[in-house]
C-alpha cells in the first residue's frame, strides 16, 4: 500500500444493537471481513453515484411531478367553474 492510499483517518458513528446485528449479517452474506470494510465500500459507492440515482430522490421527483400535474388540473377545473358562473345556462363559450 503506497503512502497516498494508506488509511490514516477514522470515521465513527453509532448504531443500535439491531442495526449492528444487521450489519454483521450483511458482512457474512457478502463475505466482507468487517463492518468497517462494509461501511467503507458502501460509502465510497454512495459518494460515486450521481445524486439522482438515489431511489428516494427518484420517488420524490415522481411525487413532485404528480403534485404539479394535479395543481394544473385543479387550475383548469377552477377556470371551468368560473366560466359556468359567468355564462347563463344553455350558452357555450363558442356562442
Give per-residue pLDDT as tens, 69-89.
Answer: 999 999 999 999 988 888 867
The Cα 54–Cα 31 span in angstroms is: 25
Whether residue 49 has pLDDT greater than 60 = yes
Whether residue 1 has pLDDT greater than 70 = no
Give the residue-averaged pLDDT of 45-60.
75
Confidence (pTM): 0.47
For residue 23, what are the contacts with CB-CB under 8 A and spacing of at least 6?
15, 35, 38, 39
Whether residue 2 has pLDDT greater than 70 = no
What confidence tens digit (pLDDT) does each residue in 29-44 have?
999 999 999 999 999 9
Amino acid at each position: 500500500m503506497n503512502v497516498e492510499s494508506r488509511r490514516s483517518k477514522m470515521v465513527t458513528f453509532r448504531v443500535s444493537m439491531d442495526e449492528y446485528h444487521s450489519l454483521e449479517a450483511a458482512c457474512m452474506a457478502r463475505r466482507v471481513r468487517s463492518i468497517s470494510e462494509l461501511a467503507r465500500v458502501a460509502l465510497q459507492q454512495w459518494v460515486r453515484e450521481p445524486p439522482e440515482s438515489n431511489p428516494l430522490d427518484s420517488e420524490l421527483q415522481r411525487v413532485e411531478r404528480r403534485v404539479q400535474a394535479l395543481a394544473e388540473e385543479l387550475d383548469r377545473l377552477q377556470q371551468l367553474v368560473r366560466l359556468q358562473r359567468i355564462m347563463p345556462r344553455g350558452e357555450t363559450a363558442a356562442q
